[in-house]
Amino acid sequence: MNILRLLLSSLLIIPLTTMAQDDLMDMLEKEAGETTVPAVATFKSTRIINGQSVETMKRNHLDFRISHRFGRLNSGAYELFGLDQAVMRMGFEYGITDDLMIGIGRSGEQKAYDFFGKYKLIKQATGARQVPISVTLFGSSVIRTQRSFVPGEIFAFEDKLTYTGQLLIARKFSESLSLQITPTYLYRNRPELPGDQRLLLALGIGGRLKVSRRVSINAEYFYAFRDNTTNLPYYNSLALGVDIETGGHVFQLHFTNSLGMIEKQFIGETTGSWGKGDVHYGFNISRTFSLDKKKKMVKN
Amino acid sequence: MDINKLERSIGILLTFLIFTGQSAWAQSTLYATSAGQTSFFSKTPVEDIKAVNKKTQVILNTTSGEIAVRMNMRDFDFPNELMEEHFNENYMESAKYPTSTFKGKVDQDIDLTKNGTYNLTASGTFTIHGKSQNRTLKGDITVKGGEILINSEFNVSLSDHSIDVPKIVFVKIAQNIQVKSSYSMVPYKQ
């Protein structure tokens, strides 16, 4: 009987004690429940290449961004394949909340100042609450301050203004593949060339494919729905590039037929043709600063 | 026949006693928190990398000395959001390995029902980035009133857990990351 009792007790206690560790972990897992996991880093940067991505700056973070586009590759060895010339855009971008950001920039091309805002309307998520896509709204206005080449001609203030509205719709299909479509509304109070329309609608498509954990290949194309296609020297914008991420920076290196780096210019006024070799090498570099004092003082 | 019956009923009684006894006993000696703080720190020449997770789950069985710790890697809060994104995307691969855990047992035989501060070690399985290591972690435990506080400091080696540091990073990241944890636990109610 004693043996029986011992056997019984040991049989009962052994599985209980050996299971107990897993039980504790199971209890924690049960307690945690299923959470909603938002899709982070659909794109590495707030730009896919030239155009905006669904990403915004996080709250209290300031981004200083410098972009360059060099001259055309087909300008030959004398111009060092375009490297002798460069246009630049400098900009600051700031996150007011995690979903709302504002930005300001200045382009050498057309001496243009751009002001924009971006708001994350819908955020892709999995888990407890499933959302298949992310949608971000983008709006900008541009003041072109370059003087007329025609002596004596002075532009009225309204004539210098251009407006852009975009719906950025993206889905992160997997850790490596993200795609975005970008319906675009572009309104120029005074188009650059006579005969061009004031209102230009366009559709952008872009994406990124991660080839390693820190490098991705990006592509972007904007189709402009232009009425007058015969007399204007404009082409649709196509850009191909790579994103390289190094700790706190993202470097974007690319080739594009567009010289401008703001919507009005690359969607509406691209004069280069890939077919003729009118391709510009370019890069975007950004550095993000956290201005969040409270969070900086994280205790160890 | 009678003896057989007696044995069987004793057996049933024993089973009953062990089961009910075990569960009643287990309930009364569990301490837990879901707001434990785990932080890490790494010094680099350019800027210090530090982050804190304030949603660490911990449960301790004061009778058996068993302990379980679990945290979501996405709950680590960095001063710089871009760093946080890179931590989850590139280093920890949080989509693939969402949690880090420690599942172990206190090595010393300490009566955790008595008030006081005790130095101790806990041995068990430490899992980060999907890679498990057997570790013995040092710490101290303070029992005061109805609360138990655990403090612990230890290093995590990146290579032990197959965490790659990119070659193109200009800033050198130390191989060993210093981790501190502070868990204040109260009796667990189910």
Q: Tell me the residue range of the domain where B17 lies.
A: 3-187
Structure tokens at A278: 């009118």
pLDDT in tens, B122-138: 999 999 999 999 999 99
Least confident of A230-244, B6-20, B55-69, B88-102: B6-20
Q: At what angle do helices B2-28 and A2-32 cross, to 10 degrees?
A: 30
Burial environment of residue A62 by CB neighbours within 10 A (0 to 12, 13 to 18, 19 or more): middle
State the Cα–Cα distance between residues A71 and A83, nearest whole angstrom. 6
The average pLDDT across B162-186 equals 80
For B66, which residue in chain A has the nearest alpha carbon?
Answer: A21
Band (B91; pLDDT cuts 50, 70, 90) = confident
Q: CB distance B52–A32 less than 8 Å?
A: no
Which residues in A lie closer than 8 A to residue B123 (C-beta atoms)? none
For A20, which residue in chain B has the nearest alpha carbon?
Answer: B66
pLDDT at B79: 85
More confident residue, B7 or A127: A127
The average pLDDT across B102-124 equals 91
The average pLDDT across A56-65 equals 92
Secondary element (H or E) of residue B142 = strand B131-144
Q: CB distance A247–B86 less than 8 Å?
A: yes
Find which of B27, B41, B80, B83 to mutate to test the A interface (most A CBs within 10 Å of its CB): B80
Least confident of A101-105, A291-295, B64-68, B77-81: A291-295
The answer to whether the beta carbons of residues A174 and A209 sit under 8 Å apart is no
State the Cα–Cα distance between residues B58 and B51, nearest whole angstrom. 19
Which among B89, B101, B171 has CB closest to A41?
B89
- The torsion angle over the Cα atoms of residues A53, A58, A62 and A63, rounded to 10 degrees, is -30
Which residues in B lie closer than 8 A to residue A127 (C-beta atoms)? none
What is the distance of C-alpha A83 from the center of its chain? 25
Instruction: Give which of A188, A251, A194 is closest to A224, Cα–Cα.
Output: A188
The torsion angles phi and psi of B189, rounded to 5 degrees, stand at -115, 130
Label each residue of chain A as H, E or C. CHHHHHHHHHHHHHHHHHHHHHHHHHHHHHHHCCCEEECCCCCCCCECCCCECCCCCCECEEEEEEEEEEEEHHHCHHHHHHCCCEEEEEEEEEECCCCEEEEEEEECHHHEEEEEEEEEEECCEEECCCECCEEEEEEEEEEECCCCCCCCCCCCCHHHEEEEEEEEEEEECCCCEEEEEEEEEEEECCCCCCCCCCEEEEEEEEEEEECCCCEEEEEEEEEEECCCCCCCCCCCEEEEEEEEEECCEEEEEEEECCCCCCHHHHHHCCCCCCCCCCCEEEEEEEEEEECCHHHHCCCC
pLDDT at A98: 92
Band (A10; pLDDT cuts 50, 70, 90) = low
Q: CB distance A35–B72 less than 8 Å?
A: yes
For chains A and B, count residue pairs whose Cβ atoms are closer than 8 Å: 123
The answer to whether the beta carbons of residues B54 and B34 sit under 8 Å apart is no
| Chain B nearest CA to A130, separation (Å) | 15
**What percentage of residues in chain B have a pLDDT greater than 70?**
81
Q: CB distance B52–A245 less than 8 Å?
A: no
Tell me: pLDDT of B166 over 50: yes
Which residues in B lie closer than 8 A to residue A1 (C-beta atoms)? 7, 10
Least confident of A17-26, A118-127, A137-146: A17-26
pLDDT at A140: 97
Type of residue at B77: D
Which residues in A lie closer than 8 A to residue B105 (C-beta atoms)? 21
How many domains is chain B partitioned into structurally?
Answer: 1
Band (B99; pLDDT cuts 50, 70, 90) = very high
Indicate the average pLDDT of chain A: 88
Give chain A's contact residues with B (Cβ, < 8 Å).
1, 4-5, 8-9, 12-13, 16-17, 20-22, 24-25, 27-29, 31-32, 35, 37, 40-41, 58-59, 61, 175, 213-214, 244-248, 288, 290, 292, 295-296, 298-300
Structure tokens at A22: 């897993």
Q: CB distance A292–B70 less than 8 Å?
A: no
pLDDT in tens, A208-251: 999 988 899 999 999 999 987 778 899 999 999 999 987 667 89
Tell me: pLDDT of A56 over 90: yes
pLDDT at A17: 47
pLDDT at B45: 72
State the Cα–Cα distance between residues A56 and A207, nearest whole angstrom. 17
The average pLDDT across A174-183 equals 96
Q: CB distance A247–B169 less than 8 Å?
A: yes
Least confident of A163-167, A169-173, B109-113, B182-186: B109-113
Which among B66, B82, B86 has CB closest to A21?
B66
What is the distance of C-alpha B105 from the center of its chain? 10
Q: How far is CA B96 from CA A113, B51, B53, B91, in A?
A: 43, 20, 19, 11
Q: CB distance A247–B70 less than 8 Å?
A: no
pLDDT in tens, B36-85: 999 998 887 767 788 999 999 999 998 889 999 999 999 999 888 878 88
- What is the pTM for the complete model shown? 0.78
The answer to whether the beta carbons of residues B59 and B100 sit under 8 Å apart is no
Instruction: Report long-range pairs for A194-197 (Cβ below 8 Å, ≥24 apart).
Output: A195/A228, A195/A231, A195/A232, A196/A226, A196/A228, A196/A232, A196/A234, A196/A268, A197/A226, A197/A227, A197/A228
CATH number of the domain encompassing residue B165: 2.40.128.110
A174-196 in b/e burial notation, b at 16+ Cβ within 10 A?
Answer: eeeebbbebebebbbeebbeeeb
Band (A172; pLDDT cuts 50, 70, 90) = very high
| Chain A nearest CA to B185, separation (Å) | 14
The average pLDDT across B23-41 equals 78
State the Cα–Cα distance between residues A49 and A252, nearest whole angstrom. 7
Which residues in A lie closer than 8 A to residue B70 (C-beta atoms)? 25, 28-29, 32
Q: CB distance B83–A35 less than 8 Å?
A: no
pLDDT at A250: 82
| Chain B nearest CA to A238, separation (Å) | 28
Instruction: Give which of A217, A236, A282 is closest to A255, Cα–Cα.
Output: A282
Q: CB distance B19–A4 less than 8 Å?
A: no
| Chain B nearest CA to A248, separation (Å) | 6
